[in-house]
């Protein structure tokens, strides 16, 4: 059962009287205090209201004096049945806001959840679009595994890497997949023949490596909507519906999904003049970057630009769009929302997070 969250939302400048009226109408003894566009600032329970009245807080006083600014919540990417049950079991929380980057998208109520009346809802794309997964590479970063198995079939728990990626898209109602294959392509195709999927899967076969975008040319004339493109070794925990809306609203031709990454230099960094005189030493400075994750959203007319039977990277396409005055956007996601499963350290982390 989906919760109508709007009836549980109150603005921070509301009065205690308004809070009591809203809470009574909602009927759960709980409200989420949100600023514009559902950015959650805190929570207010019937217990908070009772304590305020006992302390002599007037009914016309703003709830800023009352509501709890330190509260328990979950980001939707972490909101599994197990994590929700654990929070209800180990904390005093009886209502659990579910957020995406701090914006309220759902509320889980303990009694309803434990009775099986409520699940975590994920907004589906109103008009599902295709997904292209580029799986033709040799996976040299994952050697020696990839000397035996193609990278898309490296196991992550009881599933393969590519299935984990596809399942993430499926959460948002996306079920039409095109998989570009070249290296060990027969093994990949045989795997899916032996393991039927509920998703619709078509293969794009490269006779020779065509880069990260060259194989997209085979889809020219087949696609009429925007479509996602992903490398086969990146897992993105984000709201794909929001990515699509961002792309359409800003009228971008291509949107890059970028992840904020913080890197710390583990040494003191010397700043000098051109003659070598020391100006200062900065100990272990940190720098933030917005990196390309390898996931994109493209308009279908861009397929006309890609040359036929030519080695062509998606960065070549981006450069072409930029120099010709077309619009390229970047949708930013948090650092922890991006897992590069094609690196050994990240792969080990994925094994831990995706198989518990």
Domain assignments of the chain as residue spans, ordered by start: 5-114, 131-355
Nearest to 306 by CA among 251, 240, 257, 254: 254
Beta bridge partners of 40: 34
Contact 7, 25 (CB under 8 A): yes
Contact 166, 123 (CB under 8 A): no
What fold is seen in the domain 5-114? CBS-domain (3.10.580)
Beta bridge partners of 68: 43
Q: What is the pLDDT along the chain (356 residues), one digit of tens a residue?
A: 566 888 999 999 999 999 999 998 898 899 999 987 788 999 999 889 988 988 888 899 999 889 999 999 988 877 877 788 888 889 988 999 988 878 888 899 988 888 776 666 666 787 889 999 998 776 666 666 666 677 788 877 778 889 989 988 988 889 999 999 887 788 888 888 888 777 899 999 888 889 989 999 999 999 999 999 999 888 888 889 889 999 999 999 999 999 988 889 999 999 999 999 999 999 999 888 899 999 999 999 999 999 999 999 999 999 999 999 999 999 998 877 888 876 666 666 655 555 43
How many whole angstroms separate alpha carbon 210 and alpha carbon 136? 9
How many whole angstroms separate alpha carbon 191 and alpha carbon 185? 10
What fold is seen in the domain 131-355? Spore Coat Polysaccharide Biosynthesis Protein SpsA; Chain A (3.90.550)
Long-range pairs for 145-154: beta carbons < 8 A, 24 or more residues apart: 149/184, 149/187, 150/183, 150/184, 150/185, 150/187, 150/188, 151/232, 151/233, 151/342, 152/179, 152/188, 152/232, 153/187, 153/188, 153/191, 154/341, 154/347
DSSP state letter for 225 = S
């Amino acid at each position: 059962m989906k919760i109508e969250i709007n009836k549980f939302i109150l603005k921070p400048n509301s009065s205690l009287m308004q809070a009591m009226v809203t809470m009574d109408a909602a009927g759960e003894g709980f409200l989420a205090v949100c600023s514009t566009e559902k950015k959650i600032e805190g929570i207010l329970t019937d217990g908070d209201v009772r304590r305020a009245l006992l302390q002599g807080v007037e009914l016309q006083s703003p709830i800023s004096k009352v509501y709890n600014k330190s509260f328990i919540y979950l980001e939707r990417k972490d909101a599994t049945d197990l994590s929700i049950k654990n929070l209800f079991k180990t904390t005093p929380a009886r209502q659990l806001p579910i957020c995406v980057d701090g914006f309220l998208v759902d509320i889980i109520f303990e009694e309803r959840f434990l009775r099986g009346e409520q699940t975590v809802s994920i907004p589906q794309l109103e008009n599902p679009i295709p997904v292209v997964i580029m799986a033709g590479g040799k996976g040299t970063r994952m050697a020696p595994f990839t000397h035996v198995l193609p990278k898309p079939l490296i196991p992550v728990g009881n599933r393969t890497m590519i299935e984990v990626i596809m399942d993430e898209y499926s959460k948002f109602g996306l079920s039409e997949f095109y998989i570009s294959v070249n290296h060990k392509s027969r093994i990949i195709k045989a795997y899916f023949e032996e393991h039927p999927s509920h998703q619709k899967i078509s293969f794009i076969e490269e006779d020779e490596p065509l880069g990260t975008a060259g194989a997209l040319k085979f889809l020219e004339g087949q696609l009429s909507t925007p479509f996602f493109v992903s490398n086969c070794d990146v897992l993105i925990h984000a709201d794909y519906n929001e990515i699509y809306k961002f792309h359409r609203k800003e009228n971008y031709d291509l949107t890059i999904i970028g992840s904020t990454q913080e890197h710390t230099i583990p040494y003191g960094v010397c700043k000098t003049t051109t003659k070598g005189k020391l100006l200062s030493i900065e100990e272990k400075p940190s720098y933030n970057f917005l990196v390309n994750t390898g996931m994109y959203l493209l308009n279908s007319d861009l397929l006309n630009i890609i040359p036929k039977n030519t080695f062509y990277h998606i960065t070549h396409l981006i450069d072409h769009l930029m120099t010709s005055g077309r619009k390229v956007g970047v949708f930013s996601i948090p650092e922890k929302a991006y897992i590069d499963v094609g690196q050994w350290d990240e792969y080990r982390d994925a094994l831990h997070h995706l198989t518990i």
